């Protein structure tokens, strides 16, 4: 008889960790829940991999960053013993390769079947690989990606070996900027290469990007706007450089690639509705099949604040919130109760060298950047508002206090009217604090 569980969480990342915690809070009985993960470690706070994990001094290591200390979580980290204590089966190093969801069965790579009554899919995203685009020599040794703890352990060793040498980071997004920062603080000579005119185009305007690029530049990181066409390798197929479209090349003892991620939504073709590359779910995070839910990076879900516009959100706050919400949604259904739909406001944050910022809402419409005069080479507080149809719909803040970030979060829910953009620029953070 294949093992059978009342609840199965497929994927053992952030959303899985927060869902397991919520199950326990809501009276889970021993033996009811299994988590299946291809990783070798219990759920952990993935953002640590590109930040504390690579610190030259006192680096973050498991069990120090297992879930769940956010969202009012306990101080205690949930390592494997916590799962055992609550009778939760952790099937680690177990990859699911498909299954028949109508029969409530999953199939693992080792050809085992696991049965479920209710399934929560939490398979997250995977890093896009240059080998997928057949970039010449992109399979050379010394080219690294970062998604899982095992990748971070390998990357960390390479970073330590590259001290004093050249490294190239491909991609000017979240991974590119955070890893670029980690490399330089480890004494690696770092160049970040990407094709767009400025970094983090998903959030930053050109003026905002200029502040961060100048700050990185001051720490010795170079930015190059270029397309990469291949890699230079030695006779043993170790990378030694990066070839650019203009025919030049950059020397590199190591390369880190952060050119985007895609949701892991390929396991059940034709069985579940897909939208924008993720599993389409409703406001209760139910997929197109009964008793099958999707959360975190892999779910395309309705954003209530935007009239149920469907969006993917590859960010940790959504993973945490949706992991907790889905369990509340399952419990409500079991108890024939109705709960409000999932209500998430887009939110992004990053720590980059000694700067840190948060963004709430949407970056559409007119952008008003304030406080740039406060910025010195050491940093400083500045921000931006995005105004669409006379309403503030997006807000960004560097170096804010907890109260200021909370004010921005409230502001974006309220979407206050503004008519005078010049005054908004003059008021800066005071606008959010007085709404």
| Interface residues toward ligand NAD, by CB under 6 A | 50, 125, 170-176, 178, 193-196, 202, 228, 258-261, 314-315, 348, 350
Find the shortest distance in angstroms from Cβ 348 to ligand FDA: 6
Q: Which is nearer to ligand NAD, 172 or 241 (by Cβ)?
A: 172
Answer with the entry of ligand NAD, ligand FDA, none that 228 interacts with (C-beta below 5 to 8 A by kind): ligand NAD
Tokens matching residue 60: 């973050």
Q: Show contacts with ligand FDA in window 2-31 (CB under 6 A).
A: 11-16
Question: Residue 271 and residue 55: Cα distance in Å, rounded?
Answer: 43
Strand pairing class (4-10; 113-121):
parallel
Neighbours of 272 (CB within 10 A): 18
Helices 174-185 & 206-218, crossing angle to 10 degrees? 20
Q: Which is nearer to ligand FDA, 394 or 428 (by Cβ)?
A: 394
Q: List Cβ neighbours of 296 (8 Å cut-off, separation of 6 or more).
A: 11, 13, 14, 15, 122, 124, 318, 319, 322, 323
Find the shortest distance in angstroms from Cβ 417 to ligand FDA: 29
Question: Residue 327 and residue 331: Cα distance in Å, rounded?
Answer: 6
Per-residue binding string, ligand FDA, 105-124, x by CB under 6 A, is -----------------xxx
Q: Which residue is nearest to ligand NAD (CB)?
A: 173
Answer with the entry of ligand NAD, ligand FDA, none that 195 interacts with (C-beta below 5 to 8 A by kind): ligand NAD
Does 250 bind ligand FDA (CB under 6 A)? Our answer is no
Find the shortest distance in angstroms from Cβ 24 to ligand FDA: 17
- Closest by CA to 141, choosing from 123, 157, 126, is 157
Q: Which is nearer to ligand FDA, 243 or 315 (by Cβ)?
A: 315
Q: Which is nearer to ligand FDA, 92 or 372 (by Cβ)?
A: 92
Question: Residue 154 and residue 177: Cα distance in Å, rounded?
Answer: 19
Does 296 bind ligand FDA (CB under 6 A)? Our answer is yes
Q: Which is nearer to ligand FDA, 12 or 394 (by Cβ)?
A: 12
Does 316 bind ligand FDA (CB under 6 A)? Our answer is yes
What's the count of helices (H) and strands (E) in the chain, helices before strands? 9, 26
Does 198 bind ligand FDA (CB under 6 A)? Our answer is no
Tokens matching residue 7: 């609840």
Stretch that binds ligand FDA, among 44-52, 221-229, 356-364, 365-373 (CB under 6 A): 44-52
Q: List Cβ neighbours of 359 (8 Å cut-off, separation of 6 or more).
A: 203, 347, 348, 349, 394, 395, 396, 397
Q: Which is nearer to ligand FDA, 50 or 300 (by Cβ)?
A: 50
Helices 149-161 & 174-185, crossing angle to 10 degrees? 40
Question: Residue 297 and residue 294: Cα distance in Å, rounded?
Answer: 9
Q: Which is nearer to ligand NAD, 176 or 428 (by Cβ)?
A: 176
Residues that bind ligand FDA (CB under 6 A): 11-16, 36-39, 46-47, 49-50, 95-96, 122-125, 146-148, 264, 267, 296-298, 314-317, 319, 348-350
């Amino acid at each position: 008889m294949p093992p059978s569980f009342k609840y199965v969480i497929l994927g053992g990342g952030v959303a899985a960790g927060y869902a397991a915690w919520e199950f326990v809070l809501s009276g889970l009985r021993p033996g009811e829940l299994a988590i299946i993960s291809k990783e070798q470690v219990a759920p952990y706070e993935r953002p640590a991999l590109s930040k504390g994990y690579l610190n030259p001094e006192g680096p973050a290591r498991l069990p120090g960053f297992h879930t769940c200390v956010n969202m009012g979580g306990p101080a205690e980290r949930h390592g494997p013993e916590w799962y055992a204590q609550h009778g939760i089966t952790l099937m680690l190093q177990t990859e699911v390769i498909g299954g028949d969801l109508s029969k409530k069965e999953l199939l693992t790579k080792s050809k085992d079947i696991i049965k479920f009554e209710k399934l929560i899919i939490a398979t997250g995203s995977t890093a896009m690989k240059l080998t997928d685009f057949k970039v010449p020599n992109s399979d050379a040794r010394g080219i690294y990606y970062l998604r899982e703890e095992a990748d971070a352990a390998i990357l960390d060793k390479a970073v330590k070996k590259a001290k004093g040498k050249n490294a190239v980071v491909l991609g000017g997004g979240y991974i590119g900027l955070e890893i670029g920062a980690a490399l330089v603080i480890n004494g690696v000579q770092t160049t970040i290469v990407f094709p767009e005119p400025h970094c983090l185009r998903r959030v930053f305007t050109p003026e905002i990007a200029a502040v961060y690029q100048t700050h990185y530049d001051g720490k010795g990181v170079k930015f190059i706007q270029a397309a990469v066409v291949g890699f230079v390798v030695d006779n043993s197929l170790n990378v030694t450089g990066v070839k650019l479209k203009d025919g030049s090349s950059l020397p590199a003892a190591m390369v880190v690639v952060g050119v985007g991620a895609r949701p892991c939504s390929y396991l059940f073709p034709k069985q579940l509705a897909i939208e924008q590359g993720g599993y389409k779910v409703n406001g209760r995070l139910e997929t197109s099949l009964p008793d099958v839910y999707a959360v975190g990076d892999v779910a395309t879900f309705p954003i209530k604040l935007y009239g149920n516009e469907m969006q993917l959100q590859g960010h940790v706050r959504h993973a945490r919130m949706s992991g907790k919400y889905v369990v509340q949604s399952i419990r409500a259904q079991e108890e024939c109760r109705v709960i409000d739909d999932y209500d998430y406001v887009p939110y992004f944050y990053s720590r980059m060298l000694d700067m840190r910022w948060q963004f709430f809402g949407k970056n559409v419409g007119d952008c008003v950047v304030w406080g740039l005069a406060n910025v010195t080479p050491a940093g400083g507080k500045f921000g931006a508002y995005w105004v669409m149809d006379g309403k503030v719909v997006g807000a960004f803040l560097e170096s804010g206090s907890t109260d200021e970030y909370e004010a921005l979060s409230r502001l974006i829910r309220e979407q206050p009217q503004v008519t005078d953009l010049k005054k908004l620029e003059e008021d800066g953070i005071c606008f959010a604090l007085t709404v």
